[in-house]
A and B are shown apart, each in its own frame.
Chain A
Amino acid sequence: MREVFHKETDLHNCTGVLLPGGFSYGDYLRAGALAKMSPIMPAIKRFAEQGGPVMGICNGFQILCETGLLPGALMLNKNLRFISRSVGMRVENSDTVFTKHLWQGQIVRMPIAHAEGNYTADPETIRQLEERQQVVFRYVDPVRHDAPNGNPNGSTNAIAGIVNASGNVLGLMPHPDRAAENIIGSADGFPIFLAFAEAAQSATRVEHSF
Chain B
Amino acid sequence: MKAVVTVELKEGVLDPQGQAIQQLLAQRGYSGIDEVRVGKRIEFSLATLDGSRAETMLSEIADKLLANPVIERFHIDLK
Contacts and interface: CB of A to CB of B under 8 A. Distances in A.
A121 B68 contact: no
A26 B71 CA distance: 21
A143 interface: no
Given A72-B70, A73-B70, A73-B71, A120 B65 contact: no
Interface in A14-32: 29-30
Nearest to A79: B16
A95 B19 CA distance: 39
A76 B70 contact: no
A80 B17 contact: yes
Nearest to B68: A73
B16 A78 contact: yes
B58 interface: no
A33 B16 contact: no
A78 B17 CA distance: 8
B71 A120 contact: yes
Category for how many chain A residues contact B: 20 to 34
B66 A29 contact: yes
Interface residues of B, number: 12
B65 A80 contact: no
Contacts of A188: none
Contacts of A73: 68, 70-71
Given A120-B71, A121-B70, A76 B17 contact: yes
Contacts of B17: 76, 80
B20 interface: yes
Interface in A39-96: 65-66, 71-73, 75-80
The list of the 4 closest CB pairs from A to B, nearest first, reads A73-B70, A73-B71, A78-B16, A73-B68
Given A65-B70, A71-B70, A73-B71, 4 more contacts: A29-B40, A36-B65, A72-B70, A73-B70
Interface of A: 29-30, 33-34, 36-37, 65-66, 71-73, 75-80, 118, 120-122, 154
